[in-house]
Chain A
Amino acid sequence: MSFERKIQKALAEHSKWQGSADRLWAKIAPEIEKKTPWWRKGRIWAGTLAAAVLVVFFLRPFFNQPPPDFAAPVPEMRMRSLSVEQGALITEPGALIGISVKATPTPLEAGQGPPLSLFIRRITEDGRRLPLQGKRLFVNLSEKDLSREGPALTILAEAPLASGRYELKIEGTVLSEGKLYEIRGEREIQVLQKEEGR
């Protein structure tokens, strides 16, 4: 082993984090929501103001017209109340979702374990999980140090295109540097179309 490789191993071996990314994210997420940067707030207000100016501009010719004989039927406003259970990530169709997975060494030999796959199940209102699809994942984890215990890796998966609540589950085995590892991780998401309230 070269000296440089030994330095790499020494640093990697002695910096194994057994903390939780979920716990850390739980501290960060509320701070992001709480402190919206002024420029973004400004952009929202500027956008709202610009929209209001445009509406006034287009409606101006109608201000002085006499009232119509009868009121035109007003289209029913589409209103929905969204109830999302705690823990599900709200996202848009086709968005990339980071799924934390754990890798554990398995005594199986190469070729014996099931291939790494993403399983998507739709969660119905009564909580049933309906299998939608399972597809083989081709991810290169060879650069990761799969031999460590505890810390989770992140694999990206695409959210389904249709609205609804889903369970994304990653399961299977991966060969890395001659060893077979079992990979497991899952995530619940709520897919909302853009106009549905984000």
Chain B
Amino acid sequence: MGRQENELIKAAKNGRQDALEAIFRLHAEGAVRLAYLITRDWAVAEDAVQEAFLRAFRSLASFKDGRPFKPWFTAIVVNEAKRVKSSFQRELVLSENNEENPHRVFKPEERTLEKEDLAALFTAINSLDDNQRLPLILKYFSGLTEKETAEVLQIPASTVKSRLYVARQRLKKIIEERKGGGPVEF
């Protein structure tokens, strides 16, 4: 994918609309899902991603050839998601019964113990503050390395490492408390 993506970026820099569209299609879904995890609102997430793509395409000339596109673009998505979220000033209530994905259709057979565990874990993730939540999302959802996460969030890699550690410990504690103080299964 790296070589193909480099070719696409070169073509896009030359103003080729088909190349821009191909780049968009490669990254759109991941970007919207990432923006949703940050904003917790699909409409806001799509707005943020729309702005992020426009910003990225307009500043493509400054993007260095041969570098991986994903971390660079992820930084733009994260910044836009945070900016759009705050500008909309929507009240995102992260309650105990965390909102389900409105697009998702649950089937009876899916209501397994594992699904409930994952839902509880997701609620716990959303209860973390952004300092812990964002590194967690970038590492475990976007698949960025700790170094790339550090570049996206503009903090030292050692800080990313420690925030991830703290985040995991907090999650375990929250889950433990929810289960009535019993041992954590994870």
Contacts and interface: CB of A to CB of B under 8 A. Distances in A.
Interface of A: 1-4, 6-19, 21, 24-25, 27-29, 31-33, 35, 37, 39-40, 89-92, 95-98, 100, 149-152, 154, 156
B72 interface: no
A91 B28 CA distance: 20
Contact of A17 (B26, B29, B105, B186): B29
Contact of B118 (A9, A17, A28, A154): A9
Contacts of A10: 118-119, 121-122, 125
Given A12-B141, A15-B34, A98-B26, 9 more contacts: A3-B168, A10-B122, A14-B101, A14-B122, A17-B36, A24-B46, A32-B57, A90-B18, A91-B18
B4 A156 contact: yes
Given A7-B121, A19-B42, A37 B58 contact: yes
A59 B69 CA distance: 46
A8 B141 contact: yes
Chain B residues touching A, range: 35 or more
Contacts of A24: 24, 28, 32, 46, 49-50
B167 to A, nearest CB: 9
Contacts, number: 133
B94 to A, nearest CB: 12
B73 interface: no
B159 interface: no
A7 to B, nearest CB: 5
B29 A96 contact: no
A27 B50 contact: yes
Contact of A25 (B21, B36, B117, B136): B21
B18 A40 contact: no
B81 interface: no
A99 to B, nearest CB: 8
B137 A11 contact: yes
Q: Max chain B CB contacts within 10 Å: which of A4, A7, A8, A149?
A: A7
Contacts of A92: 16, 18
Nearest to B184: A3
B134 interface: no
Given A25-B24, A29-B17, A39-B61, A6 B117 contact: yes
B8 interface: yes
Contacts of B44: none
B65 to A, nearest CB: 16
Top 10 closest A-B pairs, CB basis? A18-B103, A98-B25, A3-B186, A98-B22, A15-B33, A10-B121, A91-B18, A11-B141, A154-B25, A10-B122
